[in-house]
Amino acid sequence: MQTFHCDTCHQPVYLRNNWCTHCAAPMGFAPDQWAFVNLAATTAPESSPHRLCANSAQGLCNWLLPEGDTHDRCPCCLLTEIWPVLDGPQSSAHLFGVELAKRRLIMSLKELGLPVFPQETRVPLRFAILADLPGQASVKTGHAQGLITLNMKEADPTRRMAEQQRFAEPQRTVLGHLRHESGHFYWDEWVATDPSTQENFRALFGDERADYAQALQSHHASPQRWDPLQPNGFISSYAQSHPWEDWAETWAHFLLMADALSEVSPDRLSGELVRASPIDALLDTWVDLSVQSNAINRSIGLPDAYPFVLDDLIRAKLDFVRSIVLPQAWAR
């Protein structure tokens, strides 16, 4: 994702900042300007064209309401339709982690040029952030008809590390979950609604009419062997379970690449990169970057940040995702 800058001292301002770490100016993100705004530059807060999102009071949000917006929460927070009941500092910290990841997802989708907000999509995209409750079944993360449900415990670092081991998903993160679920949302928007796109999808990912519940049950009962260094056409173990999951995992991987490549390419939005570069060029740059990030991790003594090899079928699937994104991608 692009790096923003303080409009006073021109130092970088990052996604989670609500002040400039260099000159200490209070900052908020103005979605209508797609920039961080210095709030101290406004002499009278009540006459400012921007108001802070109501969720900023709990430290949950650093967005501003667009000029003239009469809601109390910003457009990003309004996407969360169901909020969890918080029962202490730990659950507040988990919700903070989820909303931070959600803001990154929303900002990276917009930087690709994709429709996100209710007036932009066929079915409105919404989120339900839920906590497990005593005596009730655990909340399942998933997507149905535009609603992405996320179990807030995914933001618990201890649980996440255990699940990384259990599911052999070393890159399992809240952001990764949200990217994956957004893949199901955009499949419904663009693939399910167009017969020729659906045909091209089936040629690469398989026939999604295969029994979904049965496929997931079999996968969880006995996951097929999968090694990121010996690719078999699937980007993850879970991608093998059903064509829809293969799509969502590949989509999430494409978003990850676009997000990181934009972050290291000053002044280029990810949508511009995707538009300007055929898949081979994107992947060449991506592999170079991943080699460098692995080198840093190895020198610290950590596992590789990006332990994946991309075979021809995975590359073709990523190219299919690019072809879906392309008509929407930014052209400046």
Which stretches of the chain bind Zn ion, using CB under 5 A? Answer: 6, 8-9, 20, 22-23, 25, 53, 55, 61, 63, 74, 77, 245, 248
Min CB(65)–Zn ion separation in Å: 8
Min CB(26)–Zn ion separation in Å: 10
Closer Cβ to Zn ion, 111 or 245, answer by number: 245
Closer Cβ to Zn ion, 56 or 290, answer by number: 56
Long-range contacts of the stretch 302-307 (C-beta < 8 A, 24+): 303/170, 307/170, 307/228, 307/229
Min CB(257)–Zn ion separation in Å: 19
End-to-end CA distance of the chain: 16
Backbone dihedral angles phi then psi of residue 60, each to the nearest 5 degrees: -85, -15
Closer Cβ to Zn ion, 22 or 202, answer by number: 22
Q: Which two tokens stand for residue 245?
A: 């999951």
Coil, strand or helix at 5: strand
Closer Cβ to Zn ion, 55 or 290, answer by number: 55
Closer Cβ to Zn ion, 60 or 289, answer by number: 60
Min CB(58)–Zn ion separation in Å: 10
Min CB(33)–Zn ion separation in Å: 16
CA torsion sign for 45, 18, 148, 90 is negative
Nearest to 39 by CA among 49, 55, 52, 26: 26
Nearest to 117 by CA among 48, 32, 175, 194: 32
Closer Cβ to Zn ion, 219 or 297, answer by number: 219
β partners of residue 30: 35
Min CB(66)–Zn ion separation in Å: 12
Residue with structure tokens 């699940």?
Answer: 163
Closer Cβ to Zn ion, 248 or 279, answer by number: 248
Min CB(23)–Zn ion separation in Å: 3
CA distances (Å), 168 to each of 78, 156, 163, 222, in order?
34, 18, 8, 13
